[in-house]
Structure 1
């Protein structure tokens, strides 16, 4: 995992790329390196509205371009400000299905100056694939992203 962290750091520290390009490359790296990350993307607060707007992502297209706060796993994280690991999406009542293949999801918030400004959302086609190491790495990543946004 430390190799992935080093590579993620070098993407985020690149002076030649826009934030949008960096986030797209982060999605690509995670998608390529972690076999059970089957959809990786970012959602960000949509201006002053209590909703999230889809940002850079890798994976199948989604109908969920806008997600109201409180709806689905992403909307819940926008309200709770806490990482949410869902080992089995079908056991969750407030789940927004993006793909029939999705079986698990992890969502980690991104903070800037103490405010929840967005999140990374990762879906997996496997039940309960996410490890404590994945969670720690993604929380570290979101802290680093908060510094460059």
Structure 2
């Protein structure tokens, strides 16, 4: 299935009025992990109140010990500070990478903005070396924009 074919399903999940936000986030994680071969772990991190840290909210994939990530630490923590997409073709080449699993080869993190403020991000790990391209970035920006509508 192509990424563009997933867009209507993302919109449908977001607009489903009887589901909680957490249910919607989890369903998005499930949809992405199940339908994109190189998405092996999919999760949403959000700012933890007023603290300078991210807290894992919903995810699909191997369990992780990294439920709290300080701003600036790891790829997710760097995105919380930079407010920019971060594509990592080879995690072993990153000095500030937080290893979640020895099978992870690449990572992509896209921030979620509400009213111009970075309130969280989608984080995707891949067991495939260098799998992410511009199409992944644009698609995940779309996903984050849809998720933002749930949170403003």
CA distance in 2, matches of 1:37, 1:141: 14
**Structure 1: distance between partners of 2:84 and 2:4:** 23
Unaligned runs of 5+ in 1: none
Query: Residues of 1 paired with 2:82 and 2:64: CA distance?
Result: 23
Q: Partner residue of 2:143? A: 141
Runs of 4+ in structure 1 deviating by more than 6 angstroms, as ranges, are none
CA RMSD of the aligned region, Å? 0.6
- What is the DSSP-based 3-state SS (H/G/I as helix, E as strand, rest coil) of the residue aligned with 1:54? strand
CA distance, structure 2, for counterparts of residue 54 and residue 111 of structure 1: 17
Q: CA deviation at 1:131?
A: 1.7
Q: How does 1:1-149 map to 2 (within 5 A)?
A: 1-149=3-151
SS in structure 2 at match of 1:116 = strand
Structure 2 gaps of 5+ residues are none
SS in 1 for 2:44: strand
CA offset at residue 148 of structure 1?
1.2
1:80 and 1:141 mapped to 2: Cα distance? 19
Q: What's the offset of the Cα at 1:49? A: 0.1
